[in-house]
Amino acid sequence: MARRRTVQFTATSAVAGFVIATGAVAAAGPWDGGQRKAERVRAVTAGRAGGEGHAAAGRGPAAAPPVLGALRAGRPGTREGLAAALEPLLRDPALGSEHAASVVDVATGEPLFGAGQDVAYTPASTIKLATSAAALAALGPEHRIETTVADGGAGRIVLVGGGDPTLTARPAEGAGPRFASLADLADATARALKARGVERTTLAYDTSRYTGPAQHVIGTNENLAPVSALMVDEGRLDDSSRGPADRTAEPAADAARKFAAMLRERGVEVEGEPTEGAAAPDAARLAKVASAPLADLVERALTNSDNDIAEALARQTALASGQPASFEGAAKAVTDRLTAMDLPMGSVRIADGSGLDRADQASAEFLAHLLARAADPKAPRLRPVLTGLPVAGFTGTLRERYARDTAGRATVRAKTGTLTGVNTLAGTALTPTGRLLSFAFLASGTPSADGAQQALDRLASAVASTLD
């Protein structure tokens, strides 16, 4: 039976960046023409004493085959080697009183190592892997979330939220996917109104696409805004784009006020304060903007452990599945999509999209098999689950982990999970012989987050060092 953990919440870390080539870390941007650089370049170069490969002085990163290319199936000796390497590491007191492990051969889907692999644990943010896979299965990687403006009649327009937490009121910056811009929406709306001869209007905002409570069970928290179908910049009250930040208590109303100000700047007078109100189903559409493709949203959610995007992905899955776009409806929709993938679901309970809810439960074997499924050539729409994984020592929540002399540096890509007393890591490891293995390590009752993270990193590095 699934067991709940009841220790107190601590924030997951989230840092920026998407890179993999050792010699290009400082200069490379997150995306390159819509494709992750990590799909084409590995940070594994000519050998050096100590077992780690790094580019020689004055040389650029070495080119290498794609991460998912030429996978090799394991041999019996691999199982013996993994057991010999992992079992002593699992006895580390830093992993706490309860822990589990699973390693799977991605090429075959065969389990290579397991320890308590079918037992339910609180997965923390590694549940975002499940949320992401379900959303991709339901909607596909090219799906975009639209924010629209509709004619409300009687001199009123309605700003209609579609559930895009990345809708931004800020100017575009740097490379990467182009998130939907509230300014662009204001431009298009002003043009449409002026073409009709309208220079004065009132503004309503529509959040009816989502239902149920907006507040997560953890309550007001700097890691997640109230979940709303309409918000800008994830409801952040500062200029941050990732990680903890103070959040507005009314994301939809704040977004509408910013939109009204933009319309005024464009010569359309908005009378009074925006009010909440639904657009008619057959209302004429005046303007729209669309989010980056779902693949980009998934990558951002996984690399930066973005809770707001993760909750939006869960609700988009609910909408695509005919379920209410609430915490409860999203949990059912995600569970149904995962069940249809024929994964080991016996210990799985989905309670939210982000992993902040301790009612979430998952087993190590479920997470390891889910990652292996994401690499299956027959399931190409799941591939962003892998390309979004932080790269050890370089990007996202693993950027500050895995020192230069660590075996897993650059060859481990994994989603982290952190709550008070709970530390998890699930991802893939590329071995010296070119095999891709998926793994999941779950620990509960950990005495120190730092100590547990180091122990988990040693486990992942051991998987990356596997020889066959």
- Considering the candidates 13, 102, 125, 321, report the single residue annotated as catalytic: 125
The answer to whether residue 163 scores a pLDDT higher than 70 is yes
Enter the pTM of the model. Answer: 0.85
Residue 125 is a catalytic residue: yes
Specify the pLDDT at position 200.
97
**Quick one: CA dihedral 368, 370, 374, 379, positive or negative?**
positive
The answer to whether residue 463 scores a pLDDT higher than 80 is yes
Give 428's contacts (C-beta < 8 A, 6+ positions apart).
67, 106, 371, 375, 386, 389, 412, 413, 414, 436, 437, 438, 439
Residue 288 is a catalytic residue: no
- The pLDDT tens digits for 37-51 are 333 333 333 233 332
Specify the pLDDT at position 172.
78
Cβ atoms 206, 160 nearer than 8 A: yes
- The pLDDT tens digits for 360-400 are 999 999 999 999 999 999 999 999 999 999 999 999 999 99
Range scoring the smallest mean pLDDT among 8-12, 164-168, 233-237, 330-334: 8-12
- Give the whole-number percent of the chain exceeding pLDDT 70: 82
- Considering the candidates 305, 326, 347, 444, report the single residue annotated as catalytic: 305
Specify the pLDDT at position 207.
98
Residue 444 is a catalytic residue: no
Distances in whole angstroms, Cα of residue 297 to Cα of each of 33, 380, 425: 15, 16, 21
pLDDT band at 74 (very low <50, low <70, confident <90, very high): low
Cβ atoms 37, 20 nearer than 8 A: yes
Measured from the Cβ of residue 85, the count of other Cβ atoms closer than 10 Å reads: 17
Name the β-bridge partners of 159.
149, 205
- Give the whole-number percent of the chain exceeding pLDDT 90: 79
Distances in whole angstroms, Cα of residue 323 to Cα of each of 134, 330, 337: 14, 7, 12
Q: What mean pLDDT is predicted for residues 159-164?
A: 98
Cβ atoms 101, 459 nearer than 8 A: yes
Strand, coil or helix: 286:
strand
- The pLDDT tens digits for 171-212 are 877 666 679 999 999 999 999 999 999 999 999 999 999 999
Cβ atoms 457, 406 nearer than 8 A: yes
Specify the pLDDT at position 467.
79
- The pLDDT tens digits for 268-289 are 999 999 999 999 999 999 999 9
Specify the pLDDT at position 77.
60
Cβ atoms 387, 135 nearer than 8 A: no
- Considering the candidates 37, 128, 228, 241, report the single residue annotated as catalytic: 128
Give 195's contacts (C-beta < 8 A, 6+ positions apart).
none
- The pLDDT tens digits for 84-104 are 999 999 999 999 989 999 999
